[in-house]
Amino acid sequence: MARRSKPTIDDELIDQLLEGREHSAALLGNDGLIGELKKRLAERMLSAEMEEHLDGEEQQAAGNHRNGYSRKSVTMADDQVVLDIPRDRNGQFDPLLIPKYARRFPGFDDKIIALYARGMSTRDIQAHVEELYGITVSPSLVSAVTEAVMDEAVAWQNRPLEATYAIVYFDALRVKIRDEGLVRNKAVYLAIGVTCAGTKEVLGLWIEQTEGAKFWMRVMTEIRGRGTTDILIAVVDGLKGFPEAITAVFPATVVQTCIVHLIRYSMQFASWKERKAIAKALRPVYAAPSAQAAAAVLDDFEEGPWGQKYPPIAASWRRKWEQVIPFFAFSPEVRKILYTTNAIESLHSQIRKTIRNKGHFPHDEAATKLIYLSLRQIEAKWKRPPKEWHAAKSQLAIQFGERFTIEG
C-alpha cells in the first residue's frame, strides 16, 4: 500500500485559509479559494518583478517609480483570471510572468497545439475549450497559436542528421491538398532512419512537387547536406527513379525493394478470390534460403498455373530482382527488418488517424504543420530498438565492416 506523501504546507495554514468558508466543491472553482489563490499568487509574483525592475540602477537614475495598476483578464491554467498588473511611471515594466500584450500563461498554447495535433479543426478546438473550461477563444487565436508551429517544423526539417544510418525506410502517404484551385491527391514522402545503435527517427517529410528521379535527387541531396554521409541499406517501395537517385548521392548504399509492396503490386493482376492463393504461391520466393534458391522458385512459379495465367507477376519480380535479393545475405530474423516497410507503414497508420477528419488541406503548409505535430507525438513514444536489432547489429557489422559504426 502506498504511503501518504509528507505535505509541504502546514495544516495550520490550511485551517487559516479555510476559516469562515463553507466546505464545498465551490472552493475549487474560479470564484472560490483556489481562484483567489491563483490571483493573489500571480499578483504577488508580478509585484516582486516590479520591485526588481525598479531596483535597477538605470531605473533609479531615471527616477522611475510605481504608477498604480492596470486590470487585465488572462487565461491561467484552465480559468480566466482578472489580474491587477503593476505599472511604472516610465512605462518600461514588462513582466516575465505575463508579458505585455499576452493574455495567456505559458502552457495554454501547448493545450491548443495538443488538440490540433489530434486532428481537431480550429472550430472544434474553440468549442472544446469553451465547453470544458468556460473560456472563449477566437478561431483566429487558435490559428495564430498553431501557425507558430511552422517555425518549429522548418527547424526540424533542417536539423543536422546522423553521419551514418544503418537502414532508411522511404515510403509515400497520399493526402488531399488544394493546389491551384483544385484538390489534388498529393504524395507526402516520409523517411525513417535507424541508427547503428538501433534507435529510430523521422528524417523529414517532403510533399511531392515534381515526380520521378529529379524529386528524389533533391531529397537525397538534402539528406546529405544535413550531415549524413552514408546509408547502409535503403528500403523502398519501387518508386520510379528512386534507386538511381539514392546511388547517385550515396553510391555504396544497398537498395532493398519492399517485398510487401511487390506482393501488393502482384495482387493487382488477380481477382479478390484468387489473391490469397497467389500470395501463398509467392511466399516460397522470398522465404527461400538464398538468392539462387529464390530464383529457382520464381522460375517454378512462372511455369506454374498462376504464372501462366498472369505473366506480368513474375515479370514484375524480375524487373526488380537486383533490389529484391539483398536481404538474402542475412538470417530470417534480420530479413523481417529489411524486406518490409512495416515501420513506416505503422507510422502512416497513426498519421491517418490524425488527418482522417480533414476533407482536404487548403495548402501544403497546412498539411506539413499537422503531419509534423503528429510525427512529434509518435516519435516521443520511440524508446527502444526493435527486439531483432541485437541479432541484426552483429550481422550488419560483419556485412559492412567499418561503415557500421556505433557512436559512444
Round to whole Å and give the CA distance between 17 and 394.
65
Pairing of strands 230-236, 182-194: unpaired
Grid coordinates of 262:
511487390
Backbone angles phi, psi at 361, to 5 degrees: -95, 145
Which residues, at least 6 apart from 72, have a Cβ–Cβ distance to it below 8 Å? 82, 83, 85, 98, 103
- The verdict on residue 294 lying in a domain is yes
- The verdict on residue 29 lying in a domain is no
Q: What pLDDT shows up at residue 1?
A: 46
Q: Taking the CB of residue 353, how many other CB atoms lie within 10 A of it?
A: 12
Pairing of strands 254-257, 230-236: parallel
Q: In sequence order, what DSSP letters do the residues of 274-316 get, joined into one string?
A: HHHHHHHHHHHHHTSSSHHHHHHHHHHHHHSHHHHH-HHHHHH
Asked if 227 and 255 sit in the same domain, the reply is yes
The number of distinct structural domains making up the chain is: 3
Q: In sequence order, what DSSP letters do the residues of 113-138 get, joined into one string?
A: HHHHHTT--HHHHHHHHHHHH-----
Asked if 306 and 204 sit in the same domain, the reply is yes
User: Helical H runs in 304-383?
Assistant: 305-309, 311-319, 321-324, 332-338, 342-355, 364-379
- The verdict on residue 259 lying in a domain is yes
Asked if 381 and 277 sit in the same domain, the reply is yes
Round to whole Å and give the CA distance between 112 and 330.
47
Asked if 282 and 387 sit in the same domain, the reply is yes
Instruction: Pick the closest to residue 377 from 354, 345, 344 (CA basis).
Output: 354
Count of helix runs (H) and strand runs (E) in the chain = 19, 7
Asked if 263 and 395 sit in the same domain, the reply is yes
Instruction: Pick the closest to residue 222 from 186, 174, 168, 265 (CA basis).
Output: 168
Q: What pLDDT shows up at residue 11?
A: 63
- Whole-number CA gyration radius for the chain: 30
Round to whole Å and give the CA distance between 291 and 324.
9
Q: Looking at the DSSP assignment, which residues form a beta bridge with residue 230?
A: 164
Task: List, for residues 206-237, the tens digit of each pLDDT value.
Answer: 987 665 678 888 889 999 999 999 999 998 87
- The verdict on residue 88 lying in a domain is yes
Instruction: Pick the closest to residue 250 from 189, 161, 312 (CA basis).
Output: 161
- The verdict on residue 355 lying in a domain is yes
Asked if 190 and 289 sit in the same domain, the reply is yes
Q: Which residues of the chain have pLDDT under 50?
A: 1, 408
Round to whole Å and give the CA distance between 245 and 215.
9
Range of the domain at 58: 37-103
Asked if 133 and 174 sit in the same domain, the reply is no
Cell 525592475 found at: 53
Asked if 94 and 113 sit in the same domain, the reply is no
- The verdict on residue 140 lying in a domain is yes
Asked if 169 and 313 sit in the same domain, the reply is yes
Instruction: Pick the closest to residue 407 from 221, 285, 230, 278 (CA basis).
Output: 230
Sign of the four-CA dihedral 26, 31, 33, 34: positive
Asked if residues 192 and 203 have their Cβ atoms less than 8 Å apart, the reply is yes
Task: List, for residues 345-399, the tens digit of each pLDDT value.
Answer: 778 888 887 777 677 888 888 888 888 888 888 888 888 887 778 878 888 888 8
- The verdict on residue 192 lying in a domain is yes
Asked if 212 and 271 sit in the same domain, the reply is yes
Q: What pLDDT shows up at residue 348?
A: 80
Asked if 217 and 298 sit in the same domain, the reply is yes
- The verdict on residue 49 lying in a domain is yes
Instruction: Pick the closest to residue 54 from 100, 93, 99 (CA basis).
Output: 93
Asked if 333 and 245 sit in the same domain, the reply is yes
